[in-house]
Structure 1
Amino acid sequence: MRLSARVDYALRAVAELAAAASGPDGGDRPVTAERLAQAQQIPPKFLESILLQLRRGGVVTAQRGPEGGYRLARPAGEISLAEIIRVIDGPLANVRGQRPEHVDYKGAAEALQDVWIALRASERLILESVTIADVASGDLPDRVRELAADPSAWV
Protein backbone atom coordinates (compact mmCIF):
# COMPACT_ATOMS: atom_id res chain seq x y z
CA MET A 1 0.00 0.00 0.00
CA ARG A 2 1.25 3.41 -0.90
CA LEU A 3 -0.13 6.44 0.93
CA SER A 4 -0.09 9.79 -0.79
CA ALA A 5 1.25 12.85 1.00
CA ARG A 6 -2.34 14.14 1.12
CA VAL A 7 -3.50 11.06 3.03
CA ASP A 8 -0.51 11.14 5.37
CA TYR A 9 -1.12 14.82 6.15
CA ALA A 10 -4.87 14.27 6.56
CA LEU A 11 -4.36 11.43 9.03
CA ARG A 12 -1.85 13.47 11.02
CA ALA A 13 -4.08 16.57 11.10
CA VAL A 14 -7.13 14.60 12.20
CA ALA A 15 -5.08 12.83 14.90
CA GLU A 16 -4.01 16.27 16.12
CA LEU A 17 -7.67 17.36 16.25
CA ALA A 18 -8.51 14.21 18.22
CA ALA A 19 -5.74 14.96 20.71
CA ALA A 20 -7.05 18.51 21.10
CA ALA A 21 -10.57 17.19 21.69
CA SER A 22 -9.33 14.92 24.47
CA GLY A 23 -7.21 17.68 26.02
CA PRO A 24 -7.91 19.60 29.22
CA ASP A 25 -10.55 21.86 27.67
CA GLY A 26 -12.34 18.88 26.12
CA GLY A 27 -12.08 20.20 22.60
CA ASP A 28 -14.50 23.06 23.12
CA ARG A 29 -12.32 25.40 21.10
CA PRO A 30 -11.66 24.86 17.42
CA VAL A 31 -8.06 24.37 16.35
CA THR A 32 -6.67 26.71 13.72
CA ALA A 33 -5.19 25.37 10.52
CA GLU A 34 -2.00 27.23 11.43
CA ARG A 35 -1.72 25.36 14.73
CA LEU A 36 -2.36 22.02 13.01
CA ALA A 37 0.25 22.82 10.35
CA GLN A 38 2.85 23.75 12.97
CA ALA A 39 2.14 20.79 15.23
CA GLN A 40 2.46 18.27 12.39
CA GLN A 41 4.92 20.18 10.16
CA ILE A 42 2.50 20.28 7.24
CA PRO A 43 2.75 23.00 4.58
CA PRO A 44 -0.10 25.41 5.51
CA LYS A 45 -1.53 25.95 2.01
CA PHE A 46 -1.51 22.20 1.37
CA LEU A 47 -3.25 21.60 4.70
CA GLU A 48 -6.00 24.13 3.89
CA SER A 49 -7.03 22.16 0.79
CA ILE A 50 -6.93 18.89 2.76
CA LEU A 51 -9.11 20.36 5.51
CA LEU A 52 -11.59 21.49 2.86
CA GLN A 53 -11.81 17.91 1.57
CA LEU A 54 -12.23 16.59 5.11
CA ARG A 55 -14.99 19.12 5.74
CA ARG A 56 -16.80 18.15 2.54
CA GLY A 57 -16.38 14.49 3.52
CA GLY A 58 -18.00 15.05 6.92
CA VAL A 59 -14.88 14.32 8.97
CA VAL A 60 -14.32 17.83 10.32
CA THR A 61 -16.38 20.95 10.80
CA ALA A 62 -15.15 24.51 10.41
CA GLN A 63 -15.94 27.62 12.38
CA ARG A 64 -15.20 31.03 10.90
CA GLY A 65 -14.13 34.16 12.70
CA PRO A 66 -11.46 35.21 15.16
CA GLU A 67 -12.21 32.19 17.37
CA GLY A 68 -12.49 29.93 14.33
CA GLY A 69 -10.80 26.76 13.33
CA TYR A 70 -11.55 23.07 12.91
CA ARG A 71 -13.08 20.32 15.04
CA LEU A 72 -13.89 16.70 14.43
CA ALA A 73 -17.43 16.31 13.13
CA ARG A 74 -17.94 13.21 15.30
CA PRO A 75 -16.16 11.57 18.23
CA ALA A 76 -12.68 10.35 17.26
CA GLY A 77 -13.66 6.79 18.18
CA GLU A 78 -16.22 6.82 15.36
CA ILE A 79 -13.78 7.90 12.61
CA SER A 80 -11.73 5.10 11.08
CA LEU A 81 -8.50 5.52 9.16
CA ALA A 82 -10.27 3.91 6.19
CA GLU A 83 -12.87 6.69 6.14
CA ILE A 84 -10.23 9.40 6.00
CA ILE A 85 -8.31 7.62 3.25
CA ARG A 86 -11.49 7.24 1.20
CA VAL A 87 -12.37 10.93 1.63
CA ILE A 88 -8.93 12.02 0.42
CA ASP A 89 -7.97 9.38 -2.16
CA GLY A 90 -11.10 7.35 -2.94
CA PRO A 91 -11.33 3.55 -2.73
CA LEU A 92 -8.76 1.72 -0.61
CA ALA A 93 -7.54 -0.51 -3.41
CA ASN A 94 -7.78 -0.08 -7.14
CA VAL A 95 -6.07 -1.43 -10.20
CA ARG A 96 -5.49 1.03 -13.02
CA GLY A 97 -8.15 3.27 -11.48
CA GLN A 98 -10.78 0.52 -11.23
CA ARG A 99 -12.15 -1.45 -8.31
CA PRO A 100 -10.61 -4.95 -8.20
CA GLU A 101 -13.97 -6.62 -8.86
CA HIS A 102 -14.24 -4.73 -12.15
CA VAL A 103 -10.82 -5.79 -13.47
CA ASP A 104 -10.95 -8.72 -15.87
CA TYR A 105 -7.93 -10.91 -16.49
CA LYS A 106 -7.61 -13.79 -18.91
CA GLY A 107 -5.47 -16.90 -19.02
CA ALA A 108 -2.55 -17.30 -16.65
CA ALA A 109 -3.21 -13.91 -15.00
CA GLU A 110 -6.86 -14.66 -14.14
CA ALA A 111 -6.10 -15.30 -10.43
CA LEU A 112 -4.72 -11.75 -10.02
CA GLN A 113 -8.25 -10.43 -9.47
CA ASP A 114 -8.57 -12.64 -6.37
CA VAL A 115 -5.21 -11.36 -5.11
CA TRP A 116 -6.33 -7.72 -5.46
CA ILE A 117 -9.65 -8.44 -3.74
CA ALA A 118 -7.86 -10.23 -0.89
CA LEU A 119 -5.43 -7.32 -0.58
CA ARG A 120 -8.32 -4.87 -0.27
CA ALA A 121 -9.97 -7.10 2.35
CA SER A 122 -6.73 -7.20 4.36
CA GLU A 123 -6.38 -3.42 4.20
CA ARG A 124 -9.98 -3.04 5.35
CA LEU A 125 -9.40 -5.36 8.34
CA ILE A 126 -6.75 -3.00 9.64
CA LEU A 127 -7.86 0.42 8.44
CA GLU A 128 -11.49 0.03 9.47
CA SER A 129 -10.56 -1.34 12.89
CA VAL A 130 -8.24 1.55 13.79
CA THR A 131 -9.85 4.83 14.73
CA ILE A 132 -8.39 8.26 15.05
CA ALA A 133 -8.93 7.96 18.82
CA ASP A 134 -6.69 4.86 18.79
CA VAL A 135 -3.96 6.75 16.94
CA ALA A 136 -4.18 9.90 19.07
CA SER A 137 -4.06 7.89 22.31
CA GLY A 138 -1.39 5.46 21.06
CA ASP A 139 -3.66 2.61 22.18
CA LEU A 140 -3.86 0.58 18.97
CA PRO A 141 -5.93 -2.60 18.64
CA ASP A 142 -4.09 -5.78 19.71
CA ARG A 143 -4.04 -7.21 16.18
CA VAL A 144 -2.30 -4.09 14.85
CA ARG A 145 0.26 -4.19 17.66
CA GLU A 146 0.92 -7.89 16.99
CA LEU A 147 1.46 -7.31 13.28
CA ALA A 148 3.73 -4.31 13.87
CA ALA A 149 5.76 -6.22 16.49
CA ASP A 150 6.64 -8.97 14.00
CA PRO A 151 10.21 -8.24 12.82
CA SER A 152 9.37 -9.49 9.33
CA ALA A 153 6.77 -6.70 9.02
CA TRP A 154 9.58 -4.15 9.07
CA VAL A 155 11.45 -5.65 6.12
Structure 2
Amino acid sequence: MRLSARVDYALRAAVSLAGYGDQWVSAEQIAEDQGIPRKFLESILLQLRRGGIASSKRGPEGGHRLARPGEDISLADVIRAVDGPLVGVRGERPEEVTYPGSARALTNVWVALRVNERNILESVSLTEVATDHLPATVTKLLEDPDAWVVRGA
Protein backbone atom coordinates (compact mmCIF):
# COMPACT_ATOMS: atom_id res chain seq x y z
CA MET A 1 0.00 0.00 0.00
CA ARG A 2 1.30 3.41 -0.93
CA LEU A 3 -0.02 6.57 0.66
CA SER A 4 0.52 9.83 -1.16
CA ALA A 5 2.05 12.84 0.59
CA ARG A 6 -1.41 14.44 0.42
CA VAL A 7 -2.98 11.53 2.36
CA ASP A 8 -0.12 11.45 4.87
CA TYR A 9 -0.44 15.20 5.49
CA ALA A 10 -4.25 14.99 5.67
CA LEU A 11 -4.08 12.23 8.28
CA ARG A 12 -1.52 14.16 10.31
CA ALA A 13 -3.56 17.38 10.10
CA ALA A 14 -6.75 15.57 11.14
CA VAL A 15 -5.00 13.83 14.04
CA SER A 16 -3.56 17.20 15.09
CA LEU A 17 -7.09 18.65 15.10
CA ALA A 18 -8.27 15.68 17.19
CA GLY A 19 -5.55 16.49 19.69
CA TYR A 20 -6.96 20.00 20.11
CA GLY A 21 -10.48 18.71 20.79
CA ASP A 22 -13.12 21.44 20.43
CA GLN A 23 -10.58 24.26 20.25
CA TRP A 24 -10.27 26.28 17.07
CA VAL A 25 -6.69 26.02 15.84
CA SER A 26 -4.94 28.02 13.13
CA ALA A 27 -3.53 26.50 9.98
CA GLU A 28 -0.18 27.96 11.04
CA GLN A 29 -0.29 25.97 14.28
CA ILE A 30 -1.18 22.72 12.50
CA ALA A 31 1.57 23.31 9.93
CA GLU A 32 4.06 23.93 12.73
CA ASP A 33 2.87 20.95 14.82
CA GLN A 34 3.16 18.52 11.91
CA GLY A 35 5.83 20.03 9.67
CA ILE A 36 3.39 20.37 6.77
CA PRO A 37 4.04 23.06 4.13
CA ARG A 38 1.47 25.82 4.74
CA LYS A 39 0.23 26.15 1.13
CA PHE A 40 -0.24 22.39 0.86
CA LEU A 41 -2.04 22.34 4.21
CA GLU A 42 -4.54 25.00 3.09
CA SER A 43 -5.53 22.81 0.15
CA ILE A 44 -5.84 19.77 2.40
CA LEU A 45 -7.96 21.64 4.95
CA LEU A 46 -10.31 22.65 2.14
CA GLN A 47 -10.70 19.00 1.13
CA LEU A 48 -11.28 18.00 4.76
CA ARG A 49 -14.01 20.66 5.04
CA ARG A 50 -15.66 19.53 1.80
CA GLY A 51 -15.47 15.93 3.02
CA GLY A 52 -17.22 16.76 6.30
CA ILE A 53 -14.14 16.00 8.39
CA ALA A 54 -13.23 19.54 9.47
CA SER A 55 -14.94 22.88 9.85
CA SER A 56 -13.51 26.37 9.85
CA LYS A 57 -14.39 29.79 11.18
CA ARG A 58 -12.95 33.12 10.11
CA GLY A 59 -11.78 35.89 12.36
CA PRO A 60 -9.48 36.32 15.35
CA GLU A 61 -11.29 33.60 17.31
CA GLY A 62 -11.48 31.35 14.26
CA GLY A 63 -9.44 28.56 12.82
CA HIS A 64 -10.10 24.91 12.15
CA ARG A 65 -11.45 21.99 14.16
CA LEU A 66 -13.03 18.63 13.52
CA ALA A 67 -16.62 18.74 12.28
CA ARG A 68 -17.57 15.94 14.70
CA PRO A 69 -15.85 14.17 17.60
CA GLY A 70 -12.51 12.57 16.72
CA GLU A 71 -13.67 9.21 18.04
CA ASP A 72 -16.36 9.26 15.33
CA ILE A 73 -13.93 9.86 12.46
CA SER A 74 -11.87 6.94 11.17
CA LEU A 75 -8.61 7.06 9.27
CA ALA A 76 -10.57 5.66 6.31
CA ASP A 77 -12.92 8.67 6.44
CA VAL A 78 -9.98 11.04 6.08
CA ILE A 79 -8.38 9.06 3.27
CA ARG A 80 -11.64 8.95 1.33
CA ALA A 81 -12.13 12.71 1.80
CA VAL A 82 -8.82 13.54 0.14
CA ASP A 83 -8.09 10.55 -2.09
CA GLY A 84 -11.34 8.74 -2.88
CA PRO A 85 -11.89 4.99 -2.45
CA LEU A 86 -9.36 3.06 -0.39
CA VAL A 87 -8.26 0.61 -3.08
CA GLY A 88 -8.25 1.37 -6.76
CA VAL A 89 -6.78 -0.43 -9.71
CA ARG A 90 -5.93 1.85 -12.61
CA GLY A 91 -8.47 4.34 -11.25
CA GLU A 92 -11.30 1.78 -11.02
CA ARG A 93 -12.93 0.01 -8.09
CA PRO A 94 -11.44 -3.48 -7.65
CA GLU A 95 -14.72 -5.29 -8.34
CA GLU A 96 -15.02 -3.49 -11.68
CA VAL A 97 -11.63 -4.65 -12.97
CA THR A 98 -11.63 -7.84 -15.00
CA TYR A 99 -8.76 -9.87 -16.35
CA PRO A 100 -8.65 -12.51 -19.06
CA GLY A 101 -7.63 -16.12 -18.63
CA SER A 102 -5.31 -17.18 -15.86
CA ALA A 103 -5.19 -13.65 -14.33
CA ARG A 104 -8.97 -13.67 -13.68
CA ALA A 105 -8.53 -14.31 -9.92
CA LEU A 106 -6.61 -11.03 -9.47
CA THR A 107 -9.97 -9.26 -9.13
CA ASN A 108 -10.68 -11.35 -6.04
CA VAL A 109 -7.25 -10.52 -4.61
CA TRP A 110 -7.88 -6.77 -5.01
CA VAL A 111 -11.29 -7.05 -3.33
CA ALA A 112 -9.76 -9.05 -0.45
CA LEU A 113 -7.04 -6.42 -0.11
CA ARG A 114 -9.70 -3.72 0.18
CA VAL A 115 -11.47 -5.71 2.93
CA ASN A 116 -8.25 -5.95 4.95
CA GLU A 117 -7.50 -2.25 4.52
CA ARG A 118 -11.04 -1.38 5.60
CA ASN A 119 -10.77 -3.63 8.65
CA ILE A 120 -7.84 -1.60 9.92
CA LEU A 121 -8.48 1.90 8.61
CA GLU A 122 -12.16 1.94 9.57
CA SER A 123 -11.42 0.61 13.06
CA VAL A 124 -8.93 3.33 14.04
CA SER A 125 -10.26 6.74 15.01
CA LEU A 126 -8.45 10.06 14.96
CA THR A 127 -8.73 10.25 18.75
CA GLU A 128 -7.15 6.81 19.15
CA VAL A 129 -4.14 7.94 17.13
CA ALA A 130 -3.95 11.34 18.86
CA THR A 131 -3.96 9.67 22.30
CA ASP A 132 -1.78 6.72 21.24
CA HIS A 133 -4.44 4.20 22.29
CA LEU A 134 -4.82 2.05 19.19
CA PRO A 135 -7.43 -0.73 19.11
CA ALA A 136 -6.32 -4.17 20.26
CA THR A 137 -6.88 -5.54 16.75
CA VAL A 138 -4.15 -3.21 15.49
CA THR A 139 -1.71 -3.64 18.36
CA LYS A 140 -2.01 -7.43 18.03
CA LEU A 141 -0.87 -7.18 14.40
CA LEU A 142 2.17 -5.22 15.57
CA GLU A 143 3.24 -8.09 17.84
CA ASP A 144 4.15 -10.19 14.81
CA PRO A 145 7.92 -9.72 14.27
CA ASP A 146 7.32 -9.92 10.51
CA ALA A 147 5.21 -6.75 10.73
CA TRP A 148 8.43 -4.76 11.09
CA VAL A 149 10.36 -6.52 8.31
CA VAL A 150 10.61 -4.85 4.93
CA ARG A 151 10.50 -7.25 2.01
CA GLY A 152 11.50 -6.63 -1.56
CA ALA A 153 13.68 -3.95 -3.03
Tell me the TM-score normalized by structure 1.
0.94
Which of structure 1's runs of 4+ aligned residues deviate more than 6 A?
Answer: none
Deviation at 1:68, TM superposition (A): 1.3
Q: What corresponds to 1:6 in structure 2?
A: 6
Q: What corresponds to 1:86 in structure 2?
A: 80
Structure 2 CA distance for aligned equivalents of residues 129 and 9 of structure 1? 20
**Which deviations, in whole Å up to 9, do the C-alpha atoms of 1:44-88 show, x marking residues without a partner?**
000000000000111000000112100100000100000100011
Matched, 1:31 2:40: no
Deviation at 1:149, TM superposition (A): 2.3
Aligned length: 149
Structure 2 CA distance for aligned equivalents of residues 96 and 120 of structure 1? 14
Q: What corresponds to 1:15 in structure 2?
A: 15
Q: What corresponds to 1:24 in structure 2?
A: none
5+ residue gaps, structure 1, are: 22-26
Structure 2 CA distance for aligned equivalents of residues 147 and 109 of structure 1? 30
Classify the secondary structure of the residue corresponding to 2:64. strand
Which among 45, 59, 63 is matched to residue 39 of structure 2?
Answer: 45
Tell me the TM-score normalized by structure 2.
0.95
Matched, 1:154 2:144: no
Q: What corresponds to 1:75 in structure 2?
A: 69
State, as a whole percentage, how many aligned pairs show the same letter: 62
Deviation at 1:14, TM superposition (A): 0.8
Q: What corresponds to 1:105 in structure 2?
A: 99
Classify the secondary structure of the residue corresponding to 2:138. helix
Which one-letter code corresponds to 2:61 in the other structure?
E
5+ residue gaps, structure 2, are: none
